Amino acid sequence: MSTMANTKQPHIFIFPYPAQGHMLPMLDLTHQLALSGLSITVLVTPKNLPTLNSLLSIHPLIQTLVLPFPSHPKLPAGVENVREVGSFGNIPIINALSKLQDPIIQWFKSHPSPPVAIISDFFLGWTSKTANQLGIPRFTFYSSGAFLASVLNHSWQNMKTVRSKAIVDFSDLPGAPSFKNEHLPSTIRLYRESDPDWEFVKDSSIANLFSWGCVFNSYEALEDPYLDYLTRTLGHKRVYGVGPLSLIGTQMVAPNPHPGSINALTWLDGCPDGSVLYVCFGSQKLLNREQMVGLANGLERSGIRFVWVVKTGTTQEEAEVIPDGFEDRVSGHGLVIKGWVQQVLILGHRAVGGFLSHCGWNSVLEGIVGGAMIIGWPMEADQFVNARLLVEDLGVAVKVCEGGETVPDSTKLGNEIAQAMSEKSPQKVRAKKLRDEAIAAVDNGGSSSRALDGFIKELARPKFDTLHG
């Protein structure tokens, strides 16, 4: 643990949530805050420290506070990241991490120049209470979008009504969307009243509504109505859409491709522009055998070139199984990558024209930025909400399948992939516009760049010093 920090600049405390899709964008935001000269301490537990390697190599002055991961009866010993247990782990992990409140407060109290603000992930809403106790503001970082935050805010506050309906209308939200109950975000769908762990998650989520400000990995052209809606309903203007953060993140400075990514990039070099479909379903979801067969046959039938990332695990249960003979049959036409690939680099390759995705928020943003047409298969979590934004609100994507257990019909899937990847489609034209708007947003004077400046000014406002202590 290190306690020295650059005392000339406001000192900010960053607390990322230990899941790939939450941590990476938050570290990209931290990179921007460090570039602006803020003094920073990042809290992580020991096994998550390596995720900070790129950030720390670019900014050696960033300090870390490494605290042991607190135990929880529902978590196997040694687990410190959702990646290790899958999305079921969120509830115990949120509860376990809340036991860090006292060590955090003690660390602040013993620090010669303690942080003047906390920025923490939206899965760590309980840190609002910590900030209150310390007399400093807390900003909620949403690794996801403003539409999701609007749906979540409404749902947590109206849990009984929301859960009692087969079709839930969000009539107050822009566009008055409605969702089938089974398509609501997983935390809402799976919530168990009176279970202490779930009640804690509910209170913690509601606390986000009362944080000093909210920062979104999103941008105006993508989510303007929802950013506006949140500004209105939260009752203050400290709502900042600063994304897409991958465009201004550490990978842009230190891409450092690993061997799997280099193989895929070399293979892509030999393919015509926009001809390849990239297939990947994020960091958590594993497809079962039947789903793998349906997808493999669909890809083969489509006749489209593809790169497919198949997850390998440390045990057989954690691994996806590639159907026998598939790799030989598609050799030359399709590339199967086992394990992990640096998605941002693959999506940025000129040969990639489409992205068969589960519609996780980071994937969505990375696909847009990479100029790939998104072909959606939402499965769980926030993915149905994200898919609705892309397919219905913005018309930049198509949906070919839905549901975490659904086995795709390979003939239908193959035809739809071929159709979506064909030369002209209105979605492709609109997706290209959204991509240009994303690039403009983070450029000097763009909406995200202005929001980031506003956020940094707010962090550095001297009034926080008077709030402190």
> By CB neighbour count within 10 A (0-12 exposed, 13-18 middle, 19+ buried), where does 200 fall?
middle
Measure CA 339 to chain center: 19
- Residue range at the interface with ligand UDP (CB under 6 A); choices 45-53, 98-106, 282-290, 411-419: 282-290
- Of 200 and 340, nearer to ligand UDP (C-beta) is 340
* Binding of residue 363 to ligand UDP (CB under 6 A): yes
CB of 382 to ligand UDP, least distance (A): 8
| Single residue of 283, 291, 302, 447 touching ligand UDP by CB under 6 A | 283
Rounded to the nearest whole angstrom, what is the least distance from the CB of residue 295 to ligand UDP in the complex? 15
3-state secondary structure 381-438: CCHHHHHHHHHHHCCCEEECCCCCCCCCCHHHHHHHHHHHHCCCCHHHHHHHHHHHHH
Angle between helices 361-369 and 426-442 (to 10 degrees): 90
- Rounded Cα distance between 100 and 93, Å, is 12
Q: Which residue, 21 or 353, has its beta carbon nearer to ligand UDP?
A: 21
Which x/- pattern over 297-316 shows residues binding ligand UDP (rule: CB under 6 A)?
------------x-------
Nearer to ligand UDP, 63 or 186 (CB): 186
> With binding defined as CB under 6 A, does residue 282 bind ligand UDP?
yes
| Nearer to ligand UDP (CB atom), residue 400 or residue 459 | 400
CB of 168 to ligand UDP, least distance (A): 22
Number of residues located near ligand UDP, criterion CB under 6 A? 18
Residue 309 CB, shortest distance to ligand UDP, in Å, is 4
- The residue of the chain with the least Cβ separation from ligand UDP equals 360
User: To the nearest whole angstrom, how small is the minimum distance from the Cβ of residue 176 to ligand UDP?
Assistant: 26
Cα(270)–Cα(263) distance, rounded to whole angstroms? 12
Residues 217-276 contacting ligand UDP, CB under 6 A? none
CA distance 426 to 433: 11
Pick the closest to residue 309 from 271, 277, 273 (CA basis). Answer: 277
- Using the minimum distance from each CB to ligand UDP, give the nearer residue, 11 or 31: 31
Q: How far is the CB of 365 from ligand UDP (least distance, A)?
A: 8
Site string for ligand UDP, 323-362 (x = CB under 6 A): -----------------xxxxx---------------xxx
Considering the complex, state which of residue 27 and residue 221 has its C-beta at the smaller distance from ligand UDP: 27
Please say which residue, 198 or 340, places its beta carbon nearer to ligand UDP.
340
User: Is the sign of the CA dihedral 389, 391, 394, 397 positive or negative?
Assistant: positive
Distance CA 184, CA 159 (A): 12
Element (H, E) at 263: helix 259-269
User: How many CB atoms sit inside 10 A of residue 75's CB?
Assistant: 20
90 lies in the site for ligand UDP, by CB under 6 A: no
Q: What residues numbered 154-193 form the site for ligand UDP, per CB under 6 A?
A: none
Q: Among 28, 80, 121, 366, which residue sits at the site for ligand UDP (rule: CB under 6 A)? A: 366
CA terminus-to-terminus distance, the chain: 23
CA distance 379 to 387: 10
Contact between 52 and 16 under an 8 Å Cβ cutoff? The reply is: no
Pairwise CA distance, residues 11 & 32, whole Å: 14
Query: 108 vs 142, which CB is nearer to ligand UDP?
Result: 142
What token pair was written down for 139?
């900003």
Closest to ligand UDP by CB, 117 vs 310, is: 310
Q: Which is nearer to ligand UDP, 65 or 394 (CB)?
A: 394
6-35 residues near ligand UDP, rule: CB under 6 A: 20-21, 24
**How far is residue 280's CA from residue 355's CA, in Å, rounded to a whole number?**
8
Which parts of this chain interact with ligand UDP (CB under 6 A)? 20-21, 24, 280, 282-284, 309, 340-344, 360-363, 366
